Chains A and B, each alone.
Chain A
């Protein structure tokens, strides 16, 4: 495939670099535009008595306050279940919950005015702020989810060893560099155009429609690009888009809502923190016979996407391992914190960290290397290939991935060198320790809910031969637009520069799914291919007529339509098609085949295919201070037949570093009242450039065509690399293990901050 081999750059890269790429806050502002800022609650749990905006009257500039009472439709944007208001009406359920919006003529005036609104509270109740409290009080957002396989009771009792334990997995703020932003323009006849930084324009359209009580057909939801999404703008963007639309509805003026960083971090959802309790039964060799596991996830104040997040956690806690008998119960806990949401990996990383922590504890218990424990538990024809949820792992690529990663990382030699290093440090009374660890990964691709696995595209060829591409996917930096453009270019055999990429827009492609679950290029690439193919067939038919030949003799090649020794340029043929009244426009549609799912039983075939990957990380630790860093990382990732290797490597490196942040330095701190204290980069530390491994090798698995018929046999890449950073977490445990005799690395919770590491070292 020509266009794939050339590896085109991200379509916006030069405009990113010159500052000419337009984000929503950069768009020209109309003279009459109003800016909105939310008023946030100052208590986590209580009944609202009065919203007092008297102080706004003394301001020397225009303001307008909007509360839930002003909502013409429903105060409701729940993506799955109802009960999720955009503005609190009677009760507060977390500290930081929006209760009103203040409009003014400038952003500064709106922010200032919003701080002057006072909320009188009738009473407050004690908030639930942690998972154990929620569990004890049976405070859940959904019925517990139970995934069962085999006979846990029997296999547990027959195991050589049983081991119980618990651990915590921290949350994570998305920290997209562009905070939530939306701008709505009112039009005639109740039409609204909503520009928002969203991964899910259709949900914005639905949410706005519900809040304004206006049918979807009157609402155009658009986005050209996001300044980062990572799941944080999948459902959450709807809240702020709906706020701007509400302001536009009431004032009949354009209204922009752009959150400042503090409000964004306070009032938008994050990665779910988890607490895990387990009992594992295993043989003397470490083969897991039975696993009884309880996952508590922090859903926050409302459900949002917490149900599917738990489903993915449950269906990923097997990772690469065949577990004979399993009983896993997932509790989505209701707490008085901001509702947690999608975040790259969507519960998968938490499920996989759980099983890796458990295998580590087993290896500690048996005094064996974790790799030995893994080796006898991998999915294989010998062990078994059936997942706990019933899907068969058809073609495990574990062996291939491991073979590559061992070679790439020089694993065996380094294990030996690190042992020597640690011994040397110990003997010389020096404080440094190293650890090295592997993380193998299998990740299921498809939304767990089958209905979401559909995509649409709209392709126009114009009479000058230029091609306009539109599809349901959003560009949040992952290079989706260029990948889909490559697909179209390949279909027409033209240069990718000939494809004009356009903003995502519900008016052009309706009823879209979120750009999420790593599915963007699978769904939209295939839809765009189908749309292009319809047009191409018509053009080829017409060319055959022109050349008076069979259409089988027509070849498309490098922008020309060739038939024997005669040829036409693509633009000449396009013009001729127009002249002869042949349609040069088509929609395209794709739905993922083969998938089905019973959510009640948690059984079925939810994933079209699996991606495979492995990472080996080397950690360095100062046992005096708990400081740590990553020295080297090697990664092998299965991207199938990659659509764009450079883009995919960017996803892998970036995802891995984001995972490092989740597991090491990013820590969300709440006060006892439930106030998030880490609301900016001065207190919430994501990795900086010195925190990446100095040696960082990334390799795509070669000759790895997807066994399923995906677009050019490629595989998804967005989420899986993030959880490979678990290798560093395990490497830190190895370094802790090397600190002294009797150390207890299994106690390490994530994130492994210096403080947490020192706690474990002193335990």
Chain B
């Protein structure tokens, strides 16, 4: 099939992607090739939000904010992108742009377009506009000048002034794009994926890319093939069963969060603190598990819920338990041609209590120093069932099964005291820039103290944010 031209819709204008020498990011393309310079580069690692834009895909009903620095141009061909320039200009500004001006919400102004894009995403959503939802919406944006108060005020001031924008234009999505030395393949179903797996040599999978794109070569000197997973329809399913929720591997963390809100509210906090809206709207469940980082945010909770993973590869499907998935530092059992096609998340037994805690230098948009997930059932003060898993204490997310064994069928208070006093026999965390081994061990003991209080006093959580 001959490819038709590669188009991206920028602010409702069709722009052809051409004359691209290298595999670049959406941000670089906007700024350098199109001279659309309202979108800024602050960090190029998805943590400051200055490059935030809103993206919508053909056929998808909800637009979403993303970091344009973390997206390769090849990923978004055929998509619709709204930048700050698409909202309004000084002659005809958007109400939120006026609000930022009136509330003195900009000083140096460099972060301002990014904040406004995050604010617009909130206004375009059906969420209530409160301090909490505003803080969440801008948790992926950094401002060094204002101290944030006027920004929050500005967004709040237009809460009743919502303007929803619909992109009705549809554009053709090509199955294959080439940018510089990099070829992108975009299967839309598993059958097509299988064909690519058989035909394409030396490829790399890419889902959201919020992690992999950080390690992207600035310039590819050799030919590279990338198979994009995000458009595969089977990987985007969310199915609610009686005893489990089945989530496709390419379901974004944000959609994961929405899917569990009513059935598993204990997971809300850990998912809400996963990156930022920009990251959660781009990053996927499969991607997060496949990076296999020891500090991945969702692995511990999936471990203690005893989740199953469905793997898809050239030879079809297979199912494994998540306990068997991680192999070593950033290593897992997947073969070169295998992906996580779905996750089966069991809904916890009503008799069980679920806790999931994360410690980091900053509450929002930070990588955990340590984390701890617990799935526990207690009858008459005796632990009947216990699964615990920790992040940041070993090479992989670690199921604390040996410790659990020592603790079950005993009085929970005694068991927790035992755990606190013997923790160093079960975990030996390392020191790094996120915390010393001493801190990790002591803080983990602290989390066991927290568990003790929660169980004794029947508390759901014990977060510093709730005081």
Residues of A in contact with B (beta carbons under 8 Å apart)? 9-10, 12-23, 25-26, 28, 61, 106-109, 111-112, 115, 174-179, 225-230, 260-261, 428-432, 476-479, 620-629, 631, 646-647, 649-650, 653-658, 665, 667, 669, 677-678, 680-683, 685-692, 694, 696, 753-755, 758-759, 762
Contact = CB atoms under 8 A, between A and B. Distances in A.
A61 B138 CA distance: 40
Contacts of B97: 14, 17-18
- B21, B40, B142, B219: most-surrounded residue (chain A CB, <10 A): B219
A682 B45 CA distance: 7
B146 A654 contact: yes
Contact of B100 (A13, A225, A226, A432): A13
A624 B90 contact: no
Contact of B37 (A26, A657, A685, A686): A26
Q: Interface size for chain B: under 10, 10 to 19, 20 to 34, or 35 or more residues?
A: 35 or more
B247 interface: no
A177 B144 contact: yes
B101 to A, nearest CB: 4
Contacts of B101: 9-10, 13-14, 16-17
B280 to A, nearest CB: 15
A755 B360 CA distance: 9
B45 A650 contact: no
Contact of A758 (B45, B217, B219, B442): B442
Given A18-B97, A20-B89, A177-B110, A686 B28 contact: no
A429 to B, nearest CB: 7
Contact of B109 (A12, A667, A696, A758): A12
B446 interface: yes
A429 B449 CA distance: 10
Contacts of A9: 101-102, 104
Nearest to A477: B108
Interface stretch (B250-258, B260-268, B362-370, B395-403): B362-370
Given A625-B443, A690-B363, A754-B361, A228 B45 contact: no
B119 to A, nearest CB: 10
B462 A689 contact: no
Interface of B: 21-22, 24, 28, 31-32, 35, 37-48, 50, 83-85, 87-90, 93, 96-98, 100-102, 104-113, 116, 131, 134-135, 138-139, 141-152, 217-219, 359-367, 369, 433-436, 438-439, 442-443, 445-447, 449-450, 453, 456-457, 462, 464-465, 467
30 contacts: A10-B101, A16-B101, A18-B84, A18-B88, A18-B89, A19-B85, A26-B37, A61-B21, A177-B48, A177-B50, A178-B42, A227-B110, A261-B45, A431-B446, A622-B462, A625-B446, A627-B464, A650-B146, A654-B147, A680-B45, A685-B362, A688-B148, A689-B138, A690-B465, A691-B362, A692-B148, A753-B361, A754-B439, A755-B443, A758-B443
B146 A653 contact: yes
B43 A14 contact: no
A261 B42 contact: yes
A656 B147 contact: yes
Given A177-B40, A755-B435, A228 B110 contact: yes
> Nearest 9 A-B pairs (CB), nearest first?
A19-B38, A477-B108, A16-B109, A227-B110, A624-B446, A657-B147, A477-B107, A681-B47, A19-B84
A13 B361 contact: no
A177 to B, nearest CB: 4
A16 B107 CA distance: 9
Contacts of A656: 147
B37 A25 contact: yes
Contacts of A624: 443, 445-447, 449-450
Which of A16, A111, A620, A665 is packed against the most chain B CB atoms within 10 Å?
Answer: A16
Contacts of A657: 146-148
A657 to B, nearest CB: 4
A685 B48 contact: no
Contacts of A17: 84, 93, 96-98, 100-101, 105-106, 109, 112-113, 116
A753 B434 CA distance: 10
A688 B364 contact: yes
B11 to A, nearest CB: 11
A654 B151 contact: no
Contact of B218 (A20, A112, A261, A622): A112
B364 A690 contact: yes
A680 B359 contact: no
A727 B364 CA distance: 23
Contacts of A179: 42
A226 to B, nearest CB: 6
A758 B104 contact: no
Contact of B219 (A108, A631, A677): A108
Contacts of B48: 177, 681
Nearest to B22: A108
A681 B43 contact: yes
Nearest to B276: A688
Contact of A177 (B31, B42, B44, B85): B42
B169 to A, nearest CB: 22
